[in-house]
Structure 1
Amino acid sequence: MLEKYLTRNLVVFNATASTPEEVIRLAGNLLLDEGKIKQEYVDAMIESYHKLGSYIVIAPHIAMPHARPSQYVNEKSISFIKLKTPVKFNSKKNDPVKIVFALAGKDDESHLGMIKELAELLTNPEKVEKLTYVNNYQNFLKIIS
């Protein structure tokens, strides 16, 4: 069901960024440009990273930036970025990051539901491996479906 969130305009391949903040802003701006969130939510994701550190690097090479559900989320949503060059987030165990799923939940229930759906995908090693090489939207849809 992730494909209902990850529409074409919310998926980018071979993105370029050099810092965690740039990565988070890039992923957040995809949601912002589609009207899914407000600018304040992008800022909150970056602030969460600064306050809480690399906890968003949830598995080897995978980050899931997000902030608390808030009034700055217009619609629950997810964006995906595959980085051309991996970025270090200061995660001793899981750096560097190559795959990014940014989440925006309107409330705790929707936030946790999206995390659960992503967890189902990301606990499949074969699918995770394919995500590191995917370079077009049609193949991406096949992986996440």
Structure 2
Amino acid sequence: MDCFMSLFDLVGNDGIVITSEKHLTVDSALDLMCSILIKNKKVDSCYLEAIKQKHREIGAYYVLAPKIAMPHARPEDGVNEAALQLTIFKYGVDLESEDNGDVYLSITLAAVDSDNHINTIMALSELFQNDEDIDAIIQSDNIINIIDILKKY
């Protein structure tokens, strides 16, 4: 097996959600950000609950930068398989992050162990530092275009 996996390999063809919903609550946004991971049994629903619980305790710990969120919990919180879900909020969503404002792009991270986790985090941070690609993803209505960007990382 090729040890290099692009972000696309972890997202897959059906791991992208684009929503035009407005005024989502934090909980309903988080439901959406984990929906495909749960549907495809990559994580159990307790993983989503762990993220919500941590949010209630410490706030939007997963909002990393303006526009960008990376919801995640611990592998033992219900991860069955390493995976990512990419969710685009066309109108942004307020996840109660005081520092970073509304989120337009969320990549939910499900990691099974810390080794694979590191490579994924490195690839994600490379993507997150590329404003051009981030904006292209947020503005795109075409999943194929988004997949092409993910394959670069």
Same fold (TM over 0.5): yes
Structure 2: any 5+ residue segments left out of the alignment?
1-5
Partner AA of 1:9 in structure 2? D
How many positions carry a matched residue from both structures?
145
Say what the alpha-carbon RMSD is for the aligned residues.
1.5
Q: Distance in 1 between matches of 2:20 and 2:43?
A: 21
Please say if residues 38 and 44 of structure 2, whose CA atoms lie closer than 8 Å, have aligned partners that are also in contact.
yes
Partner residue in 2 for 1:52: 58
* Distance (whole Å) between structure 2 residues aligned to residue 37 and residue 94 of structure 1: 27
* Structure 1, unpaired ranges of 5+: none
Match of 2:113 in 1: 107
Instruction: Tell me by how many angstroms 1:81 deviates.
Output: 0.7
Alpha-carbon offset, residue 85 of structure 1: 2.3
Residue 3 of structure 2 corresponds to: none
The reply to whether residue 84 of structure 1 matches residue 90 of structure 2 is yes
Cα shift at 1:89: 1.6
* Alpha-carbon separation, structure 1, partners of 2:20 and 2:79: 24
When residues 71 and 87 of structure 1 are mapped into structure 2, their CA distance, relative to the original with a 3 A threshold, is closer
Residue 6 (structure 2) pairs with residue 6 (structure 1): no
- Partners in 2 of 1:7 and 1:75 — Cα distance? 13
CA contact (8 A) 1:69 1:111 kept: no
For residues 104 and 45 of structure 2, the distance between their equivalents in structure 1, rounded to whole angstroms, comes to: 24
How big is the shift at 1:84? 2.8
Between the aligned partners of 2:78 and 2:64, the Cα distance in structure 1 is 24
Would the aligned equivalents of 1:63 and 1:99 in 2 still touch at CA under 8 Å?
A: yes
The answer on 1:22 being equivalent to 2:28 is yes
